[in-house]
Amino acid sequence: MKKCENCNLILQDSDAFCPKCGGATVECESGSPAEGETACNCGENCSCGEENCECGEQTAENVQAGPQMQFVDDGKKKKGKKGLIAAIIAAVIVVLGVGAALVYMLVLNTPSKQFLMAQAKMLKTEWSGKTTVADVLKGKGQPVKRDFSSDISVSMDTDNQNFNDILNKLSLDYKIKSEGSEYLLNGELNYNGSPLLSCVLTADENTVGLYVPELSNEYYVTEKGLVEQVLTDEDAGEYDPIEYTKLDDIEKAYNSIVKRYGKILLGGIDDEDVKVEKNVTVKLELLEKEFKGCKVYTYTPDKERIAAALKALSGEMREDEELFNYVCSLTEFYYGSDALVMLGASVGESTIVSETGVTEAETWKERQAALADYIAEHADEFAQQLVDSGFEIKTAVHKGKPVMQTVKYSESTVSFEIISDREELLFAWKVIDDDGQNGTSFVAELTRKDGMLNGKVDFNNIESDESSRVMSIELKDISSEKKSALGIPYGTVTVAVADEDLLNGEEMTYTLSTSAAENGGTEHLMTVELPESLAPSLESLGFSGTLSEMTMKIYSSDKASTAKAPDADSTNLSSEEEIEETLNEMTGELANVILQFMFSEMM
């Protein structure tokens, strides 16, 4: 027996966390479980001999074998023009309702509250070590590594000896320093021990610099914003930089937002919308597991409640600065300030976003208001489309933990299967098109022990109910602690591609192996293996034979980089026209360098 470390609730041995408060579980001391107590699926404990828990459900010892359930598509549903947007909005209502469930619901004795709590437990599933989805949204996850300092060398090797004679003469060296918004890179391409091409790239919060002595004697410096406008498309170039107030406490903002929006959207789900089936045997098709005595919740949306919740949502979010600052702060925390620029550049290309009229607004806050207005204007329409599409969420819960969920709407059916504890994560999903026979599936079986991740992930195509593997990923001894200067964890990842149309039934593999180098630092080996029938011929390049295997070796030092800023006077480029003209001139000089190299090799 286990108990909750936080609220002392008596739990089953299989429980990884408390179903009542979400706290961690610990083993009970000998004799500590209360005599005569048995666990209920809702998480409460009942005295032996009691037929029902206080929540109204049968206790575990009184549960009899019940019907079996395997979630399958019931057939085609009517499609709506904006069905996908409606489905996304419905998912938002469920997620924010989950937050409200955690904040407001103390007694889990109604169908709608139990359904939302099951969704909340999915957010608490540990996907990476001890990190949950909720942790990520609170800013407690691991940011993408951006700051590093290392000297890096790159070399190549193939199974074609003649081609190797050329590759062995080439070397590519980088010296990189990156800290916050400041960046310094020295790059050098050498051939036969002599520099062929070198460059220095610099950047800080406001400027970008480029120095390529083989192409120009000038060290060019310009404003970062001008470079972003030149390198992005015309529409993206019109977007202002995202101005927001950076939050010091992301988790506090997350809790506040969930509380406010969750309370509103909790009104979008009522007990009348949730059907409950007890004592059901659920079969997990992809994970090949079976659970008896499950409780199954089926949620179908109510048009009036959904429409009312959407209108209340739009009113809350229209001028919500906390929401805006939270999204921007969370993005910068994980991906850095440059990610916000990329976000702005991609907004105009999104079909879903363009439908909302957001792209017509001039500032980011106006875009948020435009999105709110769009939701309010189409609330009744979305609610009707959701009902017409046959939207449905079905969740199976076993001993207080969700093990399976399906989400149906007109275009397709998505099925999730999950089994998780402290050391093992089994997760699978399947997407079936509206014909009920074709789709894709994903199955992951992962174990984490002593800081090492091992397991396999399979991607499959489903055609006429027949499944065929498209790709598999094998993870071996992936370390959660030991990483290279590039942020790549030690261990081996092997990707095998077996797409029937692409490879005619044969297999192509990619392998990345990261380990300590003999003289310090880290060695990354990236190997690509092609089947003989698909190995390209090198005759057009002047080499005999084919190329079926290629290995790239990347060495990164574990010491600080020796990169240096350019020893040259700077020349400022103050307009987009000057930048484009300079880049064109340097491109022309690069072509001359390449021609000179090729001519010298022929002589």
Instruction: Over range 385-408, report the average pLDDT.
Output: 90
Better-scored residue on pLDDT, 144 or 400:
400
**Which tokens is 197 given?**
């091409």
Instruction: Over range 14-20, report the average pLDDT.
Output: 49
- 296-342 pLDDT, tens per residue? 999 999 999 999 999 998 999 888 899 888 988 988 888 877 666 66
Instruction: Over range 48-53, report the average pLDDT.
Output: 43
Among the residue ranges 84-98, 538-552, 566-580, the one predicted with the least confidence is 84-98
pLDDT band for 601, please (50, 70, 90 cuts). low
Query: Tell me, what's the pLDDT at 356?
Result: 60
Counting residues of the chain whose pLDDT is more than 90, the rounded percentage is 26
Question: How far apart are alpha carbons 407 and 352 in whole angstroms?
Answer: 20
Question: How far apart are alpha carbons 272 and 276 in whole angstroms?
Answer: 10
pLDDT band for 281, please (50, 70, 90 cuts). very high
Kindly state the DSSP code that residue 66 receives in the 8-state scheme: -
Better-scored residue on pLDDT, 280 or 263:
280
Among the residue ranges 247-256, 422-431, 432-441, the one predicted with the least confidence is 432-441
Write the single-letter amino acid at 200.
Answer: V
Residue ranges per domain, the chain? Answer: 1-63, 395-556
Query: Tell me, what's the pLDDT at 420?
Result: 79
Q: Please identify which residue in the block is written with the tokens 């890096």.
A: 152
Question: How far apart are alpha carbons 278 and 562 in whole angstroms?
Answer: 66
41-52 burial, b if ≥16 CB within 10 A, otherwise e? bbbbbbeeebee
Question: How far apart are alpha carbons 378 and 382 in whole angstroms?
Answer: 6
Among the residue ranges 239-248, 308-317, 374-383, 488-497, the one predicted with the least confidence is 239-248
CA distances (Å), origin 395, targets 65, 122, 269, 401, 407: 19, 11, 15, 10, 9
Question: How far apart are alpha carbons 368 and 411 in whole angstroms?
Answer: 28
Instruction: Rank 119-133, 159-173, 406-420, 478-492 by mean pLDDT and report only the highest.
Output: 478-492
Rg (CA), the chain: 29
Which residue, among 366, 305, 338, 244, has the nearest Cα to 93 in the 3D structure?
305
- 476-520 pLDDT, tens per residue? 999 988 999 888 999 999 999 887 666 667 788 999 999 999 889
Average pLDDT, the chain: 77
Query: Using CB atoms within 10 A of its CB, is residue 322 exposed (0-12), middle (13-18) or buried (19+)?
Result: middle
- 405-425 pLDDT, tens per residue? 998 887 678 888 888 776 778
SS3 breakdown of the chain: % helix, strand, coil, rounded to 5? 30, 35, 35
Question: How far apart are alpha carbons 336 and 203 in whole angstroms?
Answer: 14
Q: Please identify which residue in the block is written with the tokens 């406001």.
A: 206
Query: Tell me, what's the pLDDT at 6?
Result: 55
Question: How far apart are alpha carbons 124 and 133 in whole angstroms?
Answer: 6
Contacts of 413 (CB under 8 A, 6+ apart): 73, 406, 407, 431, 432
User: Do residues 361 and 370 make contact, with C-beta atoms less than 8 angstroms apart?
Assistant: yes
